[in-house]
Amino acid sequence: MQRFIAVVSGDSMWPTYTDGQRLECTSDLQQLVVGSVVVFIHPLRSHLRAIKRIKDIDEKSLFVEGDHPDPLASEDSHNFGRIPRSNVVGIVLDFESE
């Protein structure tokens, strides 16, 4: 199991996480469950990594959403559809306090 830090960019995960916040993540993907926050390869822009919450999961794919209450504040599965499990690179464990 490898751990890494992901940095939030933007407000799509507000109020849970804020722009610039550092999140501790694990590459151990055996605990993918609805409600987990994941880091994944953006399905339309493979050079980007995104952070969203799992809202639905099946054997092959995930439906992910941002936490922001304004549905227009997050580019997520409402825009690009379900993401393949293979796009997930990590699960958020916790955030680092400054």
Assigned token pair, 33: 């469950």
Residue with tokens 């959403």: 65
Mean pLDDT over 43-68 rounds to 96
Domain count along the chain: 1
Does the pLDDT value for residue 98 go beyond 80? no
**CATH number, domain containing residue 88:** 2.10.109.10
pLDDT at 36: 95
Greater confidence, 69 or 95?
A: 69
Average pLDDT, the chain: 93
Mean pLDDT over 18-47 rounds to 94
CB 91 within 8 A of CB 32: yes
Residue 15 domain boundaries:
3-95
pLDDT at 31: 85
Residue with tokens 């690009």: 80
Count of beta carbons in the 10 Å neighbourhood of residue 93: 14
